[in-house]
Amino acid sequence: MAEQFKNFIDGRWSAAQAAKTFENRNPANRNDLIGLFPSSSGEDVDAAVAAAKKTFASWRLVPAPKRGEIIFRVGELLRKHKEALARVETREMGKVLKETRGDVQEGIDCAFYVAGEGRRLFGETTPAELPNKFAMSVRTPVGVCALITPWNFPLAIPTWKLFPALICGNTVILKPAEDTPHTAVKFIEILNEAGVPPGVVNLVHGGGEEVGAALVRHRDVQLVSFTGSAAVGREIAAACGENLKRVSLELGGKNAQIVMEDADLDLAVEGALWGAFGTTGQRCTATSRLIVHRDVAKKVTEMLVDRARKIKIGDGLDESVEMGPLINDTARQKVLRYIDIGKQEGARLIIGGAIHDAGACANGYFFQPTIFDQVKPDMRIAQEEIFGPVLSIIEITSFDQAIEVLNGTRYGLSSSIYTADVGRAFRAMRDIEAGITYVNGPTIGAEVHLPFGGVKDTGNGHREAGTTVYDIFSEWKSIYVDYSGKLQKAQIDSVE
């Protein structure tokens, strides 16, 4: 009998109003049914928003240092249960244990980092232009926040959104991806154990069209924070715009790694493999384009192919496995379509390009590490986000051309350059159009105390993590205190 899970609303676990459920299965083994989760509706969203709205009145008055203490306890519990959480993640989304342990560690780091903000959340004091008058700015909470999160980082990304929202005094509704609801349940259990009051954090499972859309359009939701595709992000932005609702979007990427002729090639190839095939290419920061100088292109390609052939594919719960499955069959079929597109465009498939279903992998959504060369910058496989283990090699002849090719997509999330020339490195840092640039490192591997996000179609300008995230989850209020005892008219009175 499959285990049945529930929503978490106003401090209680409850079934969806319609009593419908959906299955959650292990992408490495379709026969492994993890459980049944609620297919929620607008009625469930209404209940969760009502609980969050009611609790906001008291939660916003809890001193920020006290809110920080609760988040710190969450961090301690995440650390205590790190291994168990990693195994839950690997079972339901597929990436290898080393990576899911890293995912949980990001949540731990985020908890401890954000907890400290409870004693900062700095505003500003500034001189007033009139005598006997005081001026300052402070942060205030926004209200009820809807957090719509993806499946590829089922713990880390919710923590990136939820902890800053809570420290600022907001209440939240978390809608996790349908592919990774179990991790969200475990996260809520930890929040509850840490002492987060009922109604502060609510969990509603279900599909984007039912739950996500209802949250986005709900009149009592003041803020929507979404991580996902650019196409869905546009729809959310339009809906929020109709109601002048605050919205933060972290969307897609078509990230590139440049390898110049003076680069450490062993290091560059190691970085490209990790960037392209880590999480089976299912990261918004994944390396999908490798821009290589003509003088070293043949050598780099040979090294990549040799290393890619040795990648062990399988169930991520096996410690020896290096690459797990794609998240579901829809994702695998999408990758297959792009393999055909690449061939039709004239790119040369030099390794992979097919489903991997040998032996124990027969019941999962596995795919071979795939590399194309002879790729032109304007090909679809070099322009569109594939979100799978597919790397396109583009040959260039100069540094300037490399920058032009890297910038030549509608995305601008992460970027990388491998070079021994410090001048080139600094020019790359200046000229690359991306929210993140690595020098002699792969395009993946963000840290929680630096801003995360991108330019162009990668989002709407907001940045998660770092100190910039608090500009998403708080409102600025300017305060003036006049203790002169008389009416003073700013910009009109003259000071004697």
Residue 284 a catalytic site member? yes
Q: What are the two backbone dihedrals, phi and then psi, of residue 272, each rounded to the nearest 5 degrees? A: -65, -40
User: How do beta strands 21-26 and 12-14 pair?
Assistant: unpaired
Q: What are phi and psi of 41, to 5 degrees?
A: -135, -175
Residues 6+ apart with CB under 8 A from 67: 59, 118, 166, 167, 169
Superfamily of the domain at 7-251+459-479: Aldehyde Dehydrogenase; Chain A, domain 1 (3.40.605.10)
Alpha helices in 218-328 (DSSP H): 230-242, 265-277, 294-309
| pLDDT given for residue 63 in this prediction | 98
Pick the catalytic residue: 89, 117, 250, 322? 250
pLDDT of 2 higher than 90? no
The sheet with strand 171-175 has its strands ordered as: 12-14, 7-9, 201-203, 171-175, 144-148, 223-227, 246-250
Q: DSSP string covering 131-180, please?
A: TTEEEEEEEEE--EEEEE--SSSTTHHHHHHHHHHHHTT-EEEEE--TT-
Structure tokens at 253: 């990427």
pLDDT tens readout for residues 164-207: 999 999 999 999 999 999 999 999 999 999 999 999 999 999 99
* Residue 361 annotated to the active site: no
Half-sphere exposure of 209 (CA within 13 A, CB side): 0
Digit-coded pLDDT (tens) for 423-471: 999 999 999 999 999 999 999 999 999 999 999 999 999 999 999 999 9
Burial tier of 359 (Cβ tally within 10 Å: 0-12, 13-18, 19+): exposed
Inform me whether the pLDDT recorded for 143 exceeds 90.
Answer: yes
Average pLDDT over the chain reads 97
User: What does the pLDDT read at residue 496?
Assistant: 53
Please count the other Cβ atoms lying within 10 Å of the Cβ belonging to residue 386. 24
∠ CA 83-87-88, nearest 5°, is: 115
- For residue range 386-431, what is the model confidence (pLDDT) as tens digits? 999 999 999 999 999 999 999 999 999 999 999 999 999 999 999 9
Residue ranges covered by each domain of the chain: 7-251+459-479, 255-439
- Domain boundaries 255-439, corresponding CATH code: 3.40.309.10
- Phi/psi of residue 3, each to 5°? -70, 140
Q: Alpha carbon 429 to chain centroid distance? A: 23
The answer, as to whether pTM is greater than 0.85, is yes
Catalytic pick among 168, 240, 284, 361: 284
